Homo-oligomer: A and B are copies of this chain.
Amino acid sequence: MRIGGYEPFEDQPASLHDDILGRLRDFIVEGHLPSGARIPERELCARFAVSRTPLREALKVLAAEGLVELLPNRGARVREFTEAGIRHLFEVIAGLDFVAGRLACTRISDEDIAAIERLHLDMYTSYLRRELTEYFRLNQMIHQAIVDAAGNPVLSANYASANAVIRRLRYSANLKSERLGDAMREHEAIIDALRRRAGEELGLLMFEHMRKKCDAVCAYLREQQTAAPSADVAHLRSGET
């Protein structure tokens, strides 16, 4: 399954700009630059072996996506998030999950349901074994699969770009195990609704699931912040802007 593409035939060499856009987004999402850090144009030009023009075009797009902040005459920085900012993002994602759930039920094939059920079982295994990295990877894959099953490229693209920002937070490894248990139960209900193709129900389940995930992530981040106020986990700004 592809996501985010509008054109059916799009396997061309991809313009330099587009290539850089993807690579730069990954670079930032993967956390190679600290939050709030100035983005070193010249250095990145060297790293990606391009001139400033395509790099700057990519930065403009990333700014529109919300990953990066553009300060007039002062260059680009990695966007910093307040807790409120993170909640705002999750709220939008929850809305997208809501539609995704409804639509997926009407459009998904039996095979894709089966595939998602398999992912769910694998995730359950990882949960029992407390293999958190794998657990989160599968978790992410399930959500992505449901969104893609909605068969709506606009939805997939928006979902992906909102998620890129969230993924940068790297909350993955440390949620309370209590939350993990709740999340497993929510996922079971989600899979069940999907199996029954109960769209209205699934939409609401996914919406609520995201809301709770948001609360858990925010709680975790706040904890991290008070525990290590000036540490490298400084994803959150202390005050408002």
Contacts and interface: CB of A to CB of B under 8 A. Distances in A.
Interface of A: 6-8, 12-15, 17-18, 53, 56-58, 60-61, 64-66, 69-70, 72-73, 85, 88-89, 91-92, 94-96, 98-100, 103, 150, 152-155, 157-158, 162, 207, 240-241
Contacts of A15: 70, 72-73
B91 A152 contact: yes
A95 B95 CA distance: 5
Contacts of A241: 6-8
A64 B21 CA distance: 11
Nearest to A14: B72
B60 A152 contact: no
Contacts of A7: 241
Given A60-B17, A72-B14, A155 B92 contact: yes
Contact of A155 (B53, B57, B91, B100): B91
Contact of A88 (B13, B152, B162): B152
A96 B15 CA distance: 32
Q: Is the interface of A mostly helix, strand, loop or mixed?
A: helix
Contacts of A240: 8
A88 B153 contact: yes
Contacts of A56: 57
Contacts of A57: 56-57, 60
Nearest to A241: B8
B66 A64 contact: no
A94 B65 CA distance: 20
A24 to B, nearest CB: 13
A88 B6 CA distance: 11
Given A17-B60, A64-B64, A64-B65, A94 B88 contact: no
A162 B240 CA distance: 28
A91 B98 contact: no
Nearest to A155: B92
Contact of A98 (B65, B98, B152): B98
Contact of A53 (B53, B72, B154): B53
